[in-house]
Amino acid sequence: MRKVIGTLLAIALVTGVALVANRPGPAGAQGGGTIEATVTYAGAPVVEKLKVNKDTEKCGTEASIEKVVVGANKGLANAVVSVPGAKGAPKAVKTTVDQHGCKFVPHVTAMTPGELDLKNSDDILHNIHTYSTEKFEKPEMIKLTCDVHSWMLGWVAVMPNPFFGVTGGDGTAKIENVPPGKYTVEAWHETLGKQTKEVEVKAGQATKVAIEMKK
């Protein structure tokens, strides 16, 4: 059974809610290299349609639940690419999730342990659950839902270091200032799971890595 750890009530006209106090740290690694990742998926997009019968002035009459978003050249969106083994003094990477159009925007975001800004641009009632076991204090994948609007779904990836990125519509993500060395790069997707790839990062150079997600 999924355990709901945090529950927040987002009331109309709320502009922001901070979850857990932010703990800034030193800047990231200097003199590192860049990882240019491309995440692809050979399968078809997965989009579920749901009729909406409440708050239609803000939510519309139909909701699209995009579980797998595939763009040009099979690029996979909303994949979290990270280098969990990279060492170095972490810096605080703060992020914001907005409730807009009865969706969590962005659908997937990533941060280091600390503070999440949660906004409500809809100016209607949202009853938000965060399925967190660590309360944003330690690395984990956190699911976001809304009791008022059952189709709303989002993810917040709390990462152990600042060496991560989330792929856009073209399936690419860039991770900068990675300390030189050999690493295992991970790509995580909410529906397709996780894939890894071995890479070597050299100072001042860009390393390209291609990761194909599978069913």
Query: What pLDDT score was predicted for residue 30?
Result: 56
Strands 95-100 and 62-68: unpaired
> Which residues contact residue 189 at a Cβ distance below 8 angstroms, ignoring those fewer than 6 apart?
39, 68, 76, 78, 79, 80, 213
Query: What pLDDT score was predicted for residue 89?
Result: 60
Res. 149 pLDDT band, cuts 50 70 90: very high
Helix (H, G, I), strand (E, B) or coil at 72: helix
pLDDT in tens, 152-192: 999 999 999 999 999 999 999 999 999 999 999 999 999 99
Residue type, 52: V
Res. 115 pLDDT band, cuts 50 70 90: confident
Query: Average pLDDT in the 9-20 region?
Result: 41
Burial of residue 191 (number of CB atoms within 10 Å: 0-12, 13-18, 19+)? middle
Q: How many CA atoms lie within 13 A of 103 on its CB side?
A: 12
Q: Is the pLDDT of residue 28 over 70?
A: no
Beta bridge partners of 165: 81
Query: Mean pLDDT score of the chain, rounded to an integer?
Result: 86
pLDDT in tens, 67-97: 999 998 999 999 999 999 998 665 777 799 9
List, in order of start, the domains of the chain with CATH numbers: 6-25+44-78+87-174 (2.60.40)
Q: Is the pLDDT of residue 1 over 50?
A: no
* Cβ 113 vs Cβ 158: under 8 Å: yes
* Cβ 37 vs Cβ 172: under 8 Å: yes
